[in-house]
Structure formats: structure tokens, C-alpha cells
């Protein structure tokens, strides 16, 4: 797992490490790693133009020392000092190496940034001419909206033609959550020190970080239990069930799927397809007449039970997990099916229309067997009575709240898919793709996750693996939901066979 931490956890680990080192040694380690990445991005250091955006904290010091190393190798380095204070030793090192510094201290009551100050034209010209802009304005302690001159510098850096490299986290991004409130630096790459920060893995922060690269500065022995974790290909491959010599269809898992309605037949077809393409031993599908006909025509492998109006799933046969809800509807007949499935003694995945039904009666979730819910932000809003906009803005906070309050495993879909279980690190899926934002892909995900539940994975692991596989299957867009389902066997096969080259996280470096 790629473990990640909050800013408080990182600061505590840094303090413990610094107590064992000579003064300044930790900053020199960080600056050396930063300078190496800067040189790599520049291609050739000699003759290049580098602009440092420097705040008053340690990130500003890191940027100044890295800038000194680049200046000593022949780069033209200009530091724009945006804070009311500056790391004096770092600034002196930069000047000794031939770098230059300009102070930016507009009247804090004016509301204007450096572009509106008398020196604004020079600031803009420096940024526009830079081959590389190094954002060292704020570090992991930054919270809330950027103040001036940081906000204006962030906008100017984003508009400049050169590449932008963020130090530890992009300024304006909350290191602990990924939240942004107002302008924030949008980096081409981020160098983060010691350990991953949660805010680099969760949108919108991950979208601002670009390619993220970790520089080891020795924090490992001092880190606590992680705040969050992002599964890697190796993690998912290790969790995936594999058939053995003695396997049969029952040992590989039997999943029941209660989905579809006279109005929404396609959801049943897609959910069954997701389960079958994941390699489950058997699918038992239960539904009303019209989706039954569609599933039978598309998936002859499925064992099908036609339900009469108001009938439950008692006669379907033995299953090891249920998928409940895609296209089910929310009327009385759907409610009867939902009650019947949720009264069973096996794990249940609750999706789509079934989430609406349990939002109307949360007592349905109080059961001895595990429950995995797979909402988007709007569905979670109804379940925990939090406005959708707040859930979108504070995804980590609210997925944790839902897992604790409802007593279930939560897979929160969205630009960053999160998997939460009470008192465990939130898992962050690194393989999501905007190509998955098309109708029916959630039904495929439900079938896929249900198949993994039936094969014996916990809700936490089934949700994590399903999100990872689903994200890879959707990367080669544009695809329909059917195309995503059809891609799953090759994705699973490649992971199990150890062919990892297809599956690195899209926004994270080595």
C-alpha cells in the first residue's frame, strides 16, 4: 500500500527525526532531492531560467537551497520573496551561488497582489520567461484560502508557459484532505518529502499535484499508523482470489443479483455482466419478467429466477453474497425485494435504487452480516443528511462519517473513489478515469464488487479491488459500460500474471 498521512502526523514525525540529526540536516536532504527533480525537469540546467516562489516557512527554505544548487550549475535563478519573513541561511546560500532575490510585500490592506504593485510587470515578466517555476510558498501547514501575495502568484504561475514544480504540496491545497478554497497552484509535478500526504491523493488536491514524486528523508521509523492508503497493482493482485486445482463453481463464489425492473432492464444486464466478467463461479439472477428476458438473452451462463410482484428471494437458491439495487426501482415491489435480500445471512452490496430505499429506512442496514454500500455523493447525502456540495468538498470527512454512523463499508464513487470502514485507514483508488463518467458503469462496478464479496473477500478488500480493476478497465476510453465489462477479464488476467506495466497510478510517480 502507498500509505499517506496528515500534516499533523508528518510534523510529529519530522520533529522526532530532527531531534536525532544535526541542525539543518533534514532541510539539506529535502533540498538535495528537490534539486535533483528540478534538474531532471529542466533537461539541461546550464543557461536555464528558474523562478522560486518563496514563502517564510521551511518549504521556502527548501526552495532557496535547491535554487542555490541550480545556480551553482549555471542556471539563472530568481527568488520572489512572498512572505513577511524568509529563511535567512537559504537566502544567503542562493545569493552566494549567484541567484537573485526580490521582495514582494504589498500593503496587506490593499487587497492587491504583486501583479498590481509597481514591481508587478517585472514579476510577470520573470514568470513568463521561466523554464521552471518552483512553488515554495506554503507547506503542509497551509490551510484555508491563499492570502496575498500568494493568491496572485499562484494565478500568475498557473498562467505562465513554463513548467511548475510544487514543493511538498501545491500552495492552496490542504495537505490533510486535498481541499482547495480559492486559487491554488496547479503543478506539473510535486516533490513531497518523507511520506505521502493524503491531500496529494484525493481530488481536488491530486488534480493540482500533477506527477507526484516521493523523496525519502528518513521519516519511516517515526511515522504512525497511516491516515489513508492507496493500493498498488501488487496489493490488488495479492488480494484477488485465484482458482486452484480443487476449485469448482461453488468454491469460486456464487453471487446473487437482485436488479432491474420493467423500466430499467439494462442495469440488470450490466450488473450480471460485471460479475461474470470478474470470474465469479456462478451468478444467480433474480428479477421481474422483462429484465429476466434481457439477462437470459445476453448471459446464458446466469441461473435465473423470475420473481412475481411482491415476491422475495427465498426460492433463488444458495448464494455467498448479494448485489442489490441497480435499476431496481423504489416502489413497493422493489421494497419487498430489498427487505428480503437484507434479511438474508450473507454479505450484501447495496447500490443505486436500493440506496434510496435504505435512506428511507436506515434500519434495513442493521444486520449481522456485512454490508457494502456504493453511493455517489448525492446518494450519500440522502443517507447521512449532509448537503451534496459539502460531501463533494469534504469527501474524506464524510466517507468516514458514513462508515461510522451507518456501521457499513462505504465505497464513495466520484473523481477520487474512496473506501471507508470504521477505525481503518480510508483507501484511495488511484486508477480512476473520467472515461468512466458514462451511464451504466456503476452497475458494472456493483456486479464486479459483488463477485469479489462472493469469492470471500471482505467488504473493505472487495471494494478496494473492484474500484482498482474498474478504473483500469475504463482508462482506454471512450468506452460504453458494456465495454468496461468486456475489458475486465484481461485486466484481471494481467494483474494475476504479474504484468504490471499497464497499471501504474496515473498521477503518482515512482
Domain 233-495 class? alpha beta
Domain 2-229 class? alpha beta
C-beta of residue 264 within 8 angstroms of C-beta of residue 327: yes
DSSP run (H or E) holding 159: helix 150-159
Instruction: Determine phi and psi for 395, rounding to 5 degrees.
Output: -65, -45
> Residues marked as binding for (6S)-NADPHX?
58-62, 139-145, 150, 168, 267, 327, 376, 443
pLDDT of residue 310: 87
Using CA atoms, how far residue 330 sits from 217, 338, 358, 444, in Å, is 54, 10, 10, 20
DSSP run (H or E) holding 447: helix 441-454
C-beta of residue 312 within 8 angstroms of C-beta of residue 340: yes
pLDDT of residue 253: 93
189-193 and 163-167 as β-strands: parallel, antiparallel, unpaired?
A: parallel
440: alpha, beta or left? (left if phi > 0; alpha if psi -120 to 50): left
Where would I find the H helices in 1-100?
7-18, 25-42, 58-72, 88-96
Low-confidence stretches of the chain (pLDDT < 70) are: 105-119, 245-248, 499-510
In a 3-state reduction of DSSP, which class is residue 343?
A: coil
Provide the CA 97 distance to its chain's centre, in angstroms. Answer: 40
Pairwise CA distance, residues 169 & 135, whole Å = 9
2-5 and 228-230 as β-strands: parallel, antiparallel, unpaired?
A: antiparallel
pLDDT tens, residue by residue, 77-115: 999 999 889 999 999 999 999 999 998 865 455 555 555
Query: How long, in residues, is the chain?
Result: 510
pLDDT tens, residue by residue, 237-287: 999 988 776 666 777 899 999 999 999 999 999 999 999 999 999 999 999
> Residues marked as binding for K(+)?
59, 135, 171
What's the angle, vertex CA 146, arms to CA 145 and CA 147, rounded to 5? 115
Residue found by looking up cell 520533529 in the block: 15
* Residue 22: Cβ within 10 Å count: 8
Instruction: Determine phi and psi for 205, rounding to 5 degrees.
Output: -55, -45
Nearest of 37, 97, 34 to residue 61 by alpha carbon: 34
> Residues marked as binding for AMP?
413-417, 442
Mutual angle of helices 266-277 and 441-454, in 10-degree steps: 40
Pairwise CA distance, residues 447 & 257, whole Å = 8
pLDDT of residue 106: 54
Pairwise CA distance, residues 30 & 28, whole Å = 5
> Residues marked as binding?
58-62, 135, 139-145, 150, 168, 171, 267, 327, 376, 413-417, 442-443
Instruction: Determine phi and psi for 214, rounding to 5 degrees.
Output: -95, 130
| pTM of the predicted model as reported, rounded to 2 decimal places | 0.90
Residue ranges of domains in the chain:
2-229, 233-495
Amino acid at each position: 500500500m502507498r500509505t499517506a498521512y496528515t500534516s499533523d502526523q508528518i510534523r510529529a514525525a519530522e520533529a522526532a527525526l530532527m531531534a536525532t540529526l544535526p541542525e539543518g540536516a533534514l532541510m539539506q536532504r529535502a533540498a538535495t532531492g528537490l534539486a535533483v527533480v528540478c534538474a531532471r525537469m529542466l533537461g539541461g540546467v546550464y543557461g536555464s531560467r528558474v523562478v522560486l516562489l518563496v514563502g517564510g516557512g521551511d518549504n521556502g527554505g527548501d526552495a532557496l537551497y535547491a535554487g542555490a544548487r541550480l545556480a551553482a550549475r549555471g542556471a539563472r535563478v530568481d527568488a520572489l520573496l512572498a512572505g513577511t519573513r524568509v529563511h535567512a541561511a537559504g537566502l544567503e546560500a542562493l545569493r552566494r551561488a549567484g541567484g537573485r532575490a526580490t521582495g514582494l510585500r504589498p500593503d496587506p490592506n490593499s487587497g492587491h497582489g504583486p501583479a498590481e504593485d509597481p514591481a508587478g510587470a517585472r514579476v510577470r515578466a520573470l514568470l513568463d520567461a521561466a523554464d521552471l517555476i518552483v512553488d515554495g510558498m506554503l507547506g503542509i501547514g497551509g490551510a484555508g484560502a491563499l492570502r496575498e501575495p500568494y493568491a496572485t502568484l499562484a494565478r500568475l504561475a498557473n498562467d505562465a508557459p513554463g513548467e511548475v514544480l510544487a514543493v511538498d504540496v501545491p500552495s492552496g491545497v490542504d495537505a490533510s484532505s486535498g481541499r482547495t478554497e480559492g486559487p491554488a497552484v496547479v503543478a506539473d509535478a510535486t516533490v513531497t518529502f518523507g511520506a505521502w500526504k493524503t491531500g496529494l491523493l484525493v481530488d481536488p488536491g491530486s488534480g493540482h499535484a500533477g506527477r507526484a514524486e516521493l523523496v525519502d528523508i528518513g521519516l519511516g521509523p517515526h511515522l504512525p499508523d497511516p491516515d489513508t492508503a492507496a493500493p498498488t497493482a501488487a496489493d490488488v493482485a495479492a488480494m484477488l482470489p485465484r482458482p486452484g486445482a480443487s476449485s469448482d463453481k461453488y468454491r469460486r463464489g456464487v453471487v446473487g443479483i437482485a436488479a432491474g425492473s420493467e423500466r430499467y432492464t439494462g442495469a440488470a444486464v450490466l450488473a450480471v455482466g460485471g460479475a461474470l466478467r470478474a470470474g465469479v463461479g456462478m451468478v444467480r439472477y433474480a428479477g421481474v419478467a422483462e429484465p429476466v428476458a434481457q439477462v437470459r438473452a445476453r448471459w446464458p451462463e446466469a441461473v435465473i429466477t423470475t420473481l412475481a410482484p411482491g415476491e422475495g428471494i427465498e426460492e433463488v437458491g444458495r448464494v455467498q453474497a448479494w448485489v442489490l439495487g441497480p435499476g431496481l426501482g423504489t416502489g413497493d415491489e422493489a421494497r419487498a425485494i430489498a427487505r428480503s435480500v437484507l434479511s438474508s445471512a450473507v454479505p450484501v452490496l447495496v447500490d443505486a435504487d436500493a440506496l434510496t430505499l435504505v435512506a428511507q429506512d436506515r434500519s434495513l442496514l442493521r444486520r449481522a452480516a456485512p454490508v457494502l454500500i456504493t453511493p455517489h455523493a448525492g446518494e450519500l447525502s440522502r443517507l447521512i443528511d449532509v448537503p451534496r456540495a459539502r460531501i463533494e468538498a469534504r469527501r474524506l470527512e464524510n466517507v468516514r462519517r458514513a462508515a461510522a454512523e451507518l456501521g457499513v463499508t462505504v465505497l464513495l464513487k466520484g473523481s477520487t473513489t474512496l473506501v471507508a470502514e470504521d477505525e481503518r485507514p480510508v483507501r484511495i483508488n488511484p486508477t480512476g478515469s473520467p472515461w468512466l463518467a458514462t451511464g451504466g458503469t456503476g452497475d458494472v462496478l456493483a456486479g464486479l464488487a459483488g463477485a469479489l464479496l462472493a469469492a470471500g473477500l471482505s467488504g473493505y478488500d472487495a471494494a478496494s479491488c473492484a474500484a482498482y480493476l474498474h478504473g483500469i478497465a475504463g482508462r482506454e476510453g471512450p468506452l460504453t459500460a458494456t465495454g468496461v465489462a468486456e475489458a475486465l477479464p484481461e485486466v484481471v488476467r494481467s494483474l494475476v500474471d504479474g504484468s504490471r506495466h499497464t497499471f501504474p497510478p496515473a498521477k503518482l510517480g515512482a
